[in-house]
Structure 1
Amino acid sequence: MSKVVLITGASRGIGRAEAEKFAREGYQVIANYHNSKERMEQFAQQMTEQGLSVIPMQADVSDEVQVKRMVEEILSQFGHIDVLICNAGIARQSLFTDFTADQWHNMMAVNLDSVFYCCKEALPSMIRRQKGSIITTSSIWGISGASCEVPYSASKAAVIGLTKALAKEVGPSGIRVNCIAPGVIDTEMNGNLTAEVMEELKEETPLCQIGTPQQVADCAFFLAEEGASFLTGQVISPNGGFLI
């Protein structure tokens, strides 16, 4: 029986790369998306044509009811979830004083509440089986903070705190919880940055390159597998040396 991985925010960028990586490694991939139905279905079809299994599943993961419904559907169909990857997230660059309360609540709902809801729903079956791997997604700005990205940095720092605490709580149940905190990655989320800014960021990175979604996906796969069986509560930051 194939291992089952649920990846949130899998329609683009890092999430999509993770979905493809796990599918190619033989996993049954449940690829969550919110609004990008056509994009997600096209991707799933491409994977099917290559003999790989990716099942799109729509849910707004900032909504507790929708997350509960999604996880129940997965468990009903497959019986278990081996790996949960909480990848869904949004970013917004703005002066802190210009950020509205609604924008703040939306940022926290998508970046932090979604992790809480997904972990809460996936954990009971993992605890019963006494095994499982949860991978959360933070950012280098969750470690160091970033000017003009205060709410984003705060939400991602909270993800790190959740990861470390949850790892201690569920470790005795055989469940590992780790966090990936990517550096500057070539994704649509960074599409608002100019070519000049991206070049500057590249020059500030000791490895002299911008990261790729595939490199982050490789990191996620490592954390999910037996090679990382003694790793939990850790923050792994694929950032090319940008932040040390």
Structure 2
Amino acid sequence: MMTEVTRTVIRFTMDDLDEFARASHDWSPLHADAAYAYRTPYGARIVYGVLEQLICLSALPDREGYTLSSVTAEFIHPMFVELDYVIETLSASMQESQFRIYDGERIAVKGRAFFRPGAPIEPNRLDALPNVRQVPVELSAADLHKGRRVNGEYWPVQKSLEAWMERLKLRAKGVGAAQTAALMWQTYLAGMVLPGRHSLCSKLTTHFQEQAVVSDAAIDYDAEVIGYDDRFSKMRARASLQSHGVMVAESELHVFLREPVAEVTVDRLEELLPRSRALMGKVAIVTGASRGFGAAVSLGLALQGATVLTMYHRSEESMMRLAELVPDGCGSIRPYQGDVSDAAWCLKVQKQWDDEYGHPDIVVINAGLPLLSMAMEVQQLERVQQYVSSSFRLASVPLSVWLKPVAAKQGWCVVLSAESVVDAPPDYPHYVAAKSAIEGLAKSAAKQHKGKLLIVRPPRMRTDLSNTPLARHDSILPEHVAVEVIKRIVNTSINDGYEILEDSFRHQ
């Protein structure tokens, strides 16, 4: 047969993610918890890799008289709800198909499926109720040593499994309920068991045994770690699935471990810059203060005696914990929750502060958006524009409200930029454009108001917003950047104008 090519537009919804979580028992928070996902570089819940894989299988030609024998899928870029993607399938024969999911012109998912003559694998009975986890484990890199084993039993929620079978017409593609359950098991293993809470699937391969028989709706699994690559925080595991001692399938999983970023601490800051009273009596405003550089510079300013009015959007628990870290005898952190891109809100809080604090001496413009790669192409242009517009608002509004009063007090305006404005990495045109625009606005405004402006261009920092598997190792701690900024603020010898801080950061 000639190669058959199909292209289909798909769109995932939040209901899809919820229904797939219930079906698969995979409640790993990157997929299922909006609050957790918000604090990651992705900024929102991402689509399950196995769901993407099943959608691709559903897009293949019908295969009457054939059954799935093996399938491999690689997950290259994260996918999100309410965006249009394109599935492309290439089928050269009844025995083999390739599939890809495109986000614009770039490949987000790619894989290959093989089939052999036979009937899709179905369980003989549906009365088993396997004991599955309800809360994911939380393993670290040290736990993922070669030879670590886990085992248990698994089956999706039968009613939900059957709903997905019908919706995706998988039996017509040669994929039975037992095969679908085995594929769903991979996301359960990675997200709930090995490594669990902070997992992100990279590549999944499953081989089904010829004439496999699933006696009832439960399969036993045995999985073993066969390698861990510290360079990329990636685990490899091999697993077998059995039903009453009869082999059903073998699987290999490549899974990134997204270990949490270490929280900012007083000890780390004081190792770099001992506490003092250098900024006693000064009032500082910090936007985006609940994590990363914002948290580090807020705590560092307080350790130098400043009263720090911190602004945050959602992360109340983190912000309150940070405020409690300030030792007695130092300055203080006073949190305010709101949207710094809303000029009316910023003016409202400044009016509240007028009597107690007066006008600020320092303003640190730091609030930012999750940083994911994008391409400069027509299909992604709207997303690029939205990113630039939203980032610009997060900086331009607080600049317009506080730069003039800070300049009037001969104080400092600090704008967090990035070395990317010079390097211009090709996968981040939106980020480069946003930071470049913010720098230009700040320079012009500082000249207008005769203020002192410090533009900070650090390398990638180890924060929640940059905590991707391939980026975390090539990064520096935000405390190092914060301390260099504070040292410069304490030295007030600069004349009116702007200065760029970019060469003094110590790499870890």
- When normalised by structure 1's length, the TM-score is 0.82
User: In structure 2, what is the equivalent of residue 146 of structure 1?
Assistant: 425
CA, structure 1 residues 193+56, in 2 after alignment: closer, same or farther (shift >3 Å)? same
User: In structure 1, what is the equivalent of residue 270 of structure 2?
Assistant: none
How far the C-alpha of 1:130 sits from its partner, in A, is 4.4
2:411 counterpart of 1:135 = no
Which structure is higher in helix share?
A: 1
User: In structure 2, what is the equivalent of residue 108 of structure 1?
Assistant: 389
2:344 to 58, 61, 65: 65
2:325 counterpart of 1:46 = yes
Which structure is higher in strand share?
A: 2
User: In structure 1, what is the equivalent of residue 487 of structure 2?
Assistant: 222
Amino acid at match of 1:156: K
Partner of 2:497, secondary structure, is: coil
Deviations 1:81-139 (A, max 9, x none): 00000011112222233535256324432x22222211211134335x44221011111
Larger Rg: 2
CA, structure 1 residues 84+14, in 2 after alignment: closer, same or farther (shift >3 Å)? same
Question: C-alpha distance in 2, partners of 1:236/1:132?
Answer: 17
Amino acid at match of 2:486: F
Instruction: Report how many aligned residue pairs link the two structures.
Output: 226
Contact conserved, 2:361 with 2:409, CA < 8 A, in 1? Answer: no
Question: C-alpha distance in 1, partners of 2:338/2:503?
Answer: 28
2:468 counterpart of 1:189 = no
CA, structure 1 residues 76+100, in 2 after alignment: closer, same or farther (shift >3 Å)? farther
How far the C-alpha of 1:241 sits from its partner, in A, is 8.9
- When normalised by structure 2's length, the TM-score is 0.41
Partner of 1:84, secondary structure, is: strand
Contact conserved, 1:178 with 1:231, CA < 8 A, in 2? Answer: no
CA, structure 1 residues 68+92, in 2 after alignment: closer, same or farther (shift >3 Å)? farther
Contact conserved, 1:82 with 1:131, CA < 8 A, in 2? Answer: yes
Partner of 1:96, secondary structure, is: coil
How far the C-alpha of 1:190 sits from its partner, in A, is 1.2
Amino acid at match of 2:289: A
Partner of 1:233, secondary structure, is: strand
Give unmatched runs, 5+ long, in structure 1.
202-209
Amino acid at match of 1:101: E
CA, structure 1 residues 130+13, in 2 after alignment: closer, same or farther (shift >3 Å)? closer
Give unmatched runs, 5+ long, in structure 2.
1-279
Question: C-alpha distance in 2, partners of 1:241/1:44?
Answer: 26
Amino acid at match of 1:33: Y
User: In structure 1, what is the equivalent of residue 438 of structure 2?
Assistant: 159
Contact conserved, 1:41 with 1:56, CA < 8 A, in 2? Answer: yes
Contact conserved, 1:9 with 1:88, CA < 8 A, in 2? Answer: yes
Higher mean C-alpha displacement, 223-232 vs 8-17: 223-232
How far the C-alpha of 1:6 sits from its partner, in A, is 0.2
User: In structure 2, what is the equivalent of residue 118 of structure 1?
Assistant: 398
Question: C-alpha distance in 1, partners of 2:461/2:448?
Answer: 31
Amino acid at match of 1:230: N
Partner of 1:62, secondary structure, is: coil
Contact conserved, 1:222 with 1:228, CA < 8 A, in 2? Answer: no
Deviations 1:166-185 (A, max 9, x none): 232222xxx20121011121
Deviations 1:160-210 (A, max 9, x none): 212322232222xxx20121011121111111233xx544x4xxxxxxxx3
Once the two structures are aligned, what percentage of the paired residues are identical?
22
Contact conserved, 2:313 with 2:339, CA < 8 A, in 1? Answer: yes
Amino acid at match of 1:27: A
Moved over 4 A (4+): 48-52, 238-242
Question: C-alpha distance in 1, partners of 2:484/2:319?
Answer: 23
How far the C-alpha of 1:21 sits from its partner, in A, is 0.5
Contact conserved, 1:163 with 1:177, CA < 8 A, in 2? Answer: yes
How far the C-alpha of 1:231 sits from its partner, in A, is 6.8
2:299 counterpart of 1:20 = yes
Contact conserved, 1:160 with 1:235, CA < 8 A, in 2? Answer: no
Of structures 1 and 2, the one scoring higher in RCO (CA 8 A, sep 6+) is 1
CA, structure 1 residues 102+77, in 2 after alignment: closer, same or farther (shift >3 Å)? farther
Question: C-alpha distance in 2, partners of 1:182/1:237?
Answer: 6
CA, structure 1 residues 15+66, in 2 after alignment: closer, same or farther (shift >3 Å)? same
Contact conserved, 1:30 with 1:55, CA < 8 A, in 2? Answer: yes
Question: C-alpha distance in 2, partners of 1:108/1:9?
Answer: 17
How far the C-alpha of 1:57 sits from its partner, in A, is 0.8
Amino acid at match of 2:319: M
Amino acid at match of 1:212: L
Amino acid at match of 1:118: P
How far the C-alpha of 1:156 sits from its partner, in A, is 0.4
Amino acid at match of 2:455: C
User: In structure 2, what is the equivalent of residue 206 of structure 1?
Assistant: none
CA, structure 1 residues 126+14, in 2 after alignment: closer, same or farther (shift >3 Å)? closer
Higher mean C-alpha displacement, 222-231 vs 143-152: 222-231
